[in-house]
Amino acid sequence: MGPVTPLSLAEASDSELLARHVAGDDHAFGELFRRHKDRMWAVALRTCRDPELAADAVQDGFISAFRRAGSFRGDAAVTTWLHRIIVNACLDRLRRVRPTSPLPEYDLADHRDHHSSTEVRLDVEEALARLPDGQRAALVLVDMHAVPVAEAAQILGVAEGTIKSRCARGRAALAEHLGLLAGEPETGPRTS
């Protein structure tokens, strides 16, 4: 293989870049990182809910991918493989960290009539933060990043049915929480 120019790296597929990295190309993984860092950052930020944890998880994940590139079997897309590594790095970080203070409580009377788009976004982020890690990870991938259920199952290492049920339970919990924030009365007894 002759010298690789930046143009040929930009034209290479993700699989080709990973193969070139394993073969010793010093620039191939940098191109892979450039292509996917923004999407991986978005997944990490929504999964971790904390910019510092997300940054650490993205760094951990890409270092892991860099080191483990030779173990990539090609039975899934490179992006699926990267998602799996980043989400696992997020979950590892979340397991190691304990919150130092509880989530702030909303005063519904103060916020009911003053929702701007920023406050609504913060409400969704807060509701998402209350979900169990597995439900949050499934919703982030499927609903926020439009990852197909089958691919999300591969990324998280669970069955497709598990992804579907986590998404359904997570959506129901989000709807209930957001309905309460909007001032809608709770309907029926809570069973969870």
Residue 114, pLDDT score: 44
Q: Average of pLDDT values for 64-79?
A: 89
- At residue 37, φ and ψ (nearest 5 deg) are -65, -40
Quick count: other Cβ atoms within 10 Å of Cβ 81? 23
Are 80 and 148 spatial neighbours (Cβ–Cβ below 8 Å)?
Answer: no
Q: What is the CATH number of domain 108-192?
A: 1.10.10.10
16, two tokens = 């080709």
- Domain 12-97, what fold? Rna Polymerase Sigma Factor; Chain: A (1.10.1740)
Question: Looking at the whole model, is its pTM more than 0.75?
Answer: no
Quick count: other Cβ atoms within 10 Å of Cβ 60? 18
Does residue 113 carry a pLDDT above 90? no
Residue 70 has what DSSP assignment? G
Q: What is the pLDDT of residues 54-67, one digit of tens each?
A: 999 999 999 999 99
Q: How far apart are CA 98 and CA 121, in angstroms?
A: 24
Domain ranges, ordered by start, for the chain: 12-97, 108-192
Q: How far apart are CA 121 and CA 99, in angstroms?
A: 22
133, two tokens = 């890690």
Residue 131, pLDDT score: 86
Give the residue from 81, 79, 66 showing the smallest Cα distance to 27: 66
CATH topology agreement for domains 12-97 and 108-192 = no
96, two tokens = 């190691």
19, two tokens = 């193969």
Q: What is the pLDDT of residues 118-177, one digit of tens each?
A: 455 556 777 777 888 888 889 888 888 888 899 889 888 899 999 999 999 988 888 887
Q: How far apart are CA 137 and CA 143, in angstroms?
A: 10
Are 84 and 77 spatial neighbours (Cβ–Cβ below 8 Å)?
Answer: no
